[in-house]
């Protein structure tokens, strides 16, 4: 993927502004997210024990995270017993170095990839390219993103921001440069587009000697890795090459095989609204004459143990990447995935990225505010991550600083820049609200000057009055009415009719 990094992204509001103004993008996103969200709701409603499955998933993940050290060591032993090799990568750079070294050792300069969030997160394709190794994405949506010199904008449907016409144009213009060209006269019908991708990819599957994958789950007791997918391209990547390298975040481990029973129900229903995903591939080390003869597992930290150290924020590590939260999020629907400046967009991205990367950059400091806290994400999350709670917690870190863990060390973060005026305003409001008399004086002043109030606000308030009218300040605040009519005493009877609501 050539243009595929998020480095130097502007802060969320600026990136979102562009998307909000792009009517094609908004129409594409609206259509796709509403279709998936409605189907998901139906698929979930079919199960009478959904709430219990959700609770079970949450508990399994919490238990695993609490004993992560133990389960990771058990996983390492199981994988090696089954004939695999385990590598530990503290950060993106180390993971990329390990993978590039493993590919170079095979003598190959091409690899096929099954869609993997972890390798996107670390920018593996770019790192391999710098080493003269070309990585071919084989998931249909990832292929569209790669051919389009684009970035993924959704966890499950990376090309959700593209419509069929755009995809046809990308195939026509770009396929030839990466391998087998698009057939002549390609139209935008789904069947023709899928067939063009199939022919293009088939050539790569049959040639590739090295496959690179992520995994949805890793089972500690057996050393088994699991990928769920819809197309079967992933299974081709996992089974055809001689060498398989899997790069997986350490939070993907579950203790036992039976734990999959929960997630293989909740994940497909939450993500694609299917009762079961079409392909579930599981691999345990290597097996003679069957599948890859060499298997490497790269266990990726890259900010995960730092996240684990945060008592409120650690629940983000329960995430099973189903993307249900993206599909119900009204902010994601309008801002688009790219505005989140990370491979993890939407509500989960807004809490995961500022934890994995820290809140130091402009985009990461803006992400906790990329939500109206409506709570729709929490409601659909199959592992009950209280995303609004974590968003507010991270806002606190941005505006007030405080204790956090970075690179394994406890550090005291300073407040992010640009919040001094807001902090002062919040403090002033706090003081006024601590004294009812001060609040009342302010209300009376506002009422007496009501005819002088401007219709447009200066400063940050301009953002409000650009698109919305302000309410008119009423003649008297409620408390003055109460005191005037009740003399401040206890209430019984009402001698005034209700006027309009003051709007």
H or E segment to which residue 24 belongs: helix 23-45
Find the shortest distance in angstroms from Cβ 462 to other proteins: 8
- Dist. CA 56–CA 61, nearest whole Å: 9
- Dist. CA 257–CA 80, nearest whole Å: 17
- Mark 351-370 with x for binding to other proteins (rule: CB under 8 A) and - for no binding: -----------------xxx
- Helix, strand, coil percentages in the chain from 3-state DSSP, rounded to 5: 55, 10, 35
Pairing of strands 224-229, 253-254: unpaired
Find the shortest distance in angstroms from Cβ 276 to other proteins: 28
Position among 330, 407, 408, 418 found at the interface with other proteins (CB under 8 A): 330
410 binds other proteins (CB under 8 A): no
User: What are the C-alpha distances in Å from 204 to residues 113, 178, 180, 214, 246?
Assistant: 10, 10, 9, 19, 19
Position among 46, 288, 290, 499 found at the interface with other proteins (CB under 8 A): 499
Find the shortest distance in angstroms from Cβ 477 to other proteins: 5
Find the shortest distance in angstroms from Cβ 215 to other proteins: 33
Find the shortest distance in angstroms from Cβ 335 to other proteins: 5
Find the shortest distance in angstroms from Cβ 191 to other proteins: 32
Q: For other proteins, which is the closer residue by CB, 13 or 179?
A: 13
Calculate the CA dihedral of residues 375, 380, 382, 385 and round it to 10 degrees: -10
82 binds other proteins (CB under 8 A): no
Position among 8, 107, 177, 493 found at the interface with other proteins (CB under 8 A): 493
CB 196 within 8 A of CB 182: yes
Question: Across the strands, what pairs with 283?
Answer: 225
Position among 48, 409, 412, 497 found at the interface with other proteins (CB under 8 A): 497
Q: Which of residues 369-398 bind other proteins (CB under 8 A)?
A: 369-376, 378-379, 389, 392, 394-398
Residue 487: other Cβ atoms inside 10 A: 7
Q: For other proteins, which is the closer residue by CB, 180 or 479?
A: 479
Position among 6, 12, 263, 295 found at the interface with other proteins (CB under 8 A): 12
Q: For other proteins, which is the closer residue by CB, 132 or 330?
A: 330
Print burial letters for 271-294: b (CB count within 10 Å at least 16), e (below 16): bbbbeebebbbbbbbbeeeebbeb
- Mark 277-316 with x for binding to other proteins (rule: CB under 8 A) and - for no binding: ----------------------------------x-----
CB 268 within 8 A of CB 276: yes
Q: For other proteins, which is the closer residue by CB, 30 or 149?
A: 30
Q: For other proteins, which is the closer residue by CB, 256 or 312?
A: 312
């046809």: which residue's tokens? 168
Q: What's the token pair of residue 503? A: 């709007």
- Piece of the chain touching other proteins by CB under 8 A; list 1-9, 115-123, 181-189, 487-495: 487-495
């993307």: which residue's tokens? 323
Q: For other proteins, which is the closer residue by CB, 198 or 423?
A: 423
Find the shortest distance in angstroms from Cβ 393 to other proteins: 8
488 binds other proteins (CB under 8 A): yes
Contacts of 229 (CB under 8 A, 6+ apart): 114, 115, 139, 235, 277, 278, 279, 281
Q: What's the token pair of residue 66? A: 């609490």
E runs forming strands in 340-408: 402-406
Find the shortest distance in angstroms from Cβ 271 to other proteins: 21
Find the shortest distance in angstroms from Cβ 444 to other proteins: 10
Position among 2, 3, 17, 421 found at the interface with other proteins (CB under 8 A): 17
Closest CA to 83 of 222, 253, 255, 251: 222
Q: Which of residues 157-176 bind other proteins (CB under 8 A)?
A: none
CB 86 within 8 A of CB 79: yes
Find the shortest distance in angstroms from Cβ 481 to other proteins: 6
Residues that bind other proteins (rule: CB under 8 A) add up to a total of: 80
Position among 230, 277, 280, 483 found at the interface with other proteins (CB under 8 A): 483
- Dist. CA 411–CA 409, nearest whole Å: 6
Q: For other proteins, which is the closer residue by CB, 349 or 368?
A: 368
What SS3 state is found at 90? coil
Find the shortest distance in angstroms from Cβ 460 to other proteins: 6
Angle at 157 between CA 154 and CA 158, to 5 degrees: 55
Q: Which of residues 413-472 bind other proteins (CB under 8 A)?
A: 422-423, 426-427, 429-430, 432-436, 439, 443, 446, 460-461, 463-464, 466-471
φ, ψ of residue 439 to 5 degrees: the values are: -60, -45
């Amino acid at each position: 993927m050539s243009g595929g990094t998020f480095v130097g992204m502007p802060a969320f509001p600026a990136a979102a502004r562009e998307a909000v103004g792009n009517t094609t993008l908004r129409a594409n996103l609206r259509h796709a997210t509403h279709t998936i969200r409605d189907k998901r709701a139906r698929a979930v409603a079919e199960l009478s024990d959904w709430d219990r499955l959700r609770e079970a998933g949450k508990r399994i993940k919490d238990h695993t995270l609490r004993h992560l050290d133990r389960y990771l060591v058990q996983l390492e032993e199981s994988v090696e017993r089954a004939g695999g090799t385990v590598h530990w990568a503290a950060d993106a750079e180390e993971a990329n170095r390990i993978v590039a070294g493993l590919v170079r050792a095979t003598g190959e300069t091409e690899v096929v990839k099954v869609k993997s969030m972890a390798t996107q997160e670390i920018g593996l394709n770019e790192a391999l390219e710098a080493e003269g190794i070309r990585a071919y994405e084989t998931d249909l949506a990832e292929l569209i993103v790669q051919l389009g010199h684009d970035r993924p904008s959704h966890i499950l449907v990376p090309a959700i921001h593209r419509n069929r016409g755009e995809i046809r144009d990308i195939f026509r213009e770009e396929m030839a440069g990466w391998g087998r060209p698009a057939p002549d006269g390609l139209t935008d019908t789904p069947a023709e587009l899928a067939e063009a991708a199939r022919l293009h990819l088939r050539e790569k599957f049959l040639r590739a000697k090295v496959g690179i994958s992520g995994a949805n789950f890793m089972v500690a007791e057996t050393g088994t890795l699991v990928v769920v997918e819809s197309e079967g391209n992933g299974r081709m990547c996992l089974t055809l090459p001689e060498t398989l390298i899997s790069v997986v975040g350490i939070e993907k481990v579950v203790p036992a095989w039976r734990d999959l029973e929960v997630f293989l129900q909740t994940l497909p229903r939450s993500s694609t609204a299917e009762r079961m995903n079409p392909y579930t591939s599981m691999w345990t080390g290597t097996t003679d004459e069957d599948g890859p003869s060499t298997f490497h597992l790269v266990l990726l930290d890259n900010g995960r143990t730092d996240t684990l150290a945060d008592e409120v924020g650690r629940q983000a590590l329960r995430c099973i990447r189903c993307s249900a939260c993206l599909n119900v999020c009204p902010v994601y629907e309008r801002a688009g995935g790219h505005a989140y400046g990370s491979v993890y967009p939407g509500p989960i991205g807004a809490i995961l990225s500022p934890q994995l990367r820290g809140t130091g950059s402009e985009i990461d400091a803006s992400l906790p505010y990329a939500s109206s806290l409506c709570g729709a994400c929490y409601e659909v999350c199959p592992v009950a991550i209280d995303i609004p709670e974590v968003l507010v917690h991270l806002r606190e870190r941005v505006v007030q600083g405080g204790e956090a863990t970075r690179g394994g060390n406890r550090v005291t973060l300073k407040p992010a820049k640009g919040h001094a005026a807001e902090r002062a305003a919040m403090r002033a409001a706090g003081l006024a609200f601590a004294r009812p008399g001060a609040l009342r004086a302010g209300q009376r002043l506002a009422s007496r000057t009501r005819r002088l109030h401007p219709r447009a606000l200066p400063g940050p308030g301009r953002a409000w009055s650009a698109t919305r009218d302000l309410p008119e300040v009423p003649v008297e605040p409620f408390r003055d009415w109460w005191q005037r009519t009740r003399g401040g005493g206890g209430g019984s009877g009402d001698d005034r009719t209700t006027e309009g609501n003051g709007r």
